[in-house]
Amino acid sequence: MPKDWKGEKGFVTKDMIKKYTPDFMQRVFYISGQRSMVITFQKTLKDAGIHKNKIRTDYFPGFA
């Protein structure tokens, strides 16, 4: 990340989703990566009120 970066940093939160995606309740979310990351972000989306049928997941096996 550039030293002069002024954007968001850290994990994506439900507040960030709501801030940058005003129509987030109508969106379909795709999460792909290591299992622990996918599960964590899936919980974040559910906590934001996203219904499970609007969340698609894919795991990359072999990662810790």
Report the alpha-carbon distance of residue 32 to residue 2 in Å, rounded: 25
pLDDT > 90 in the chain, percent: 73
The domain in which residue 42 lies consists of 14-59
What's residue 63's pLDDT? 63
What's residue 61's pLDDT? 78
On whether residue 37 sits in a domain, the answer given is yes
Alpha helices (H) along 1-64: 14-20, 35-47
Number of domains, the chain: 1
On whether residue 6 sits in a domain, the answer given is no
Please compute Rg for the chain using Cα positions. 13
What's residue 27's pLDDT? 96
Single-letter residue type at 37? M
B/e letters for 12-49, b = 16+ CB within 10 Å, e = fewer, are: eebeebeeeeeebeeeebebeeeeeebeebbebbeebe
What's residue 24's pLDDT? 95
pTM, full prediction = 0.81
Residues of the chain predicted below pLDDT 50: none
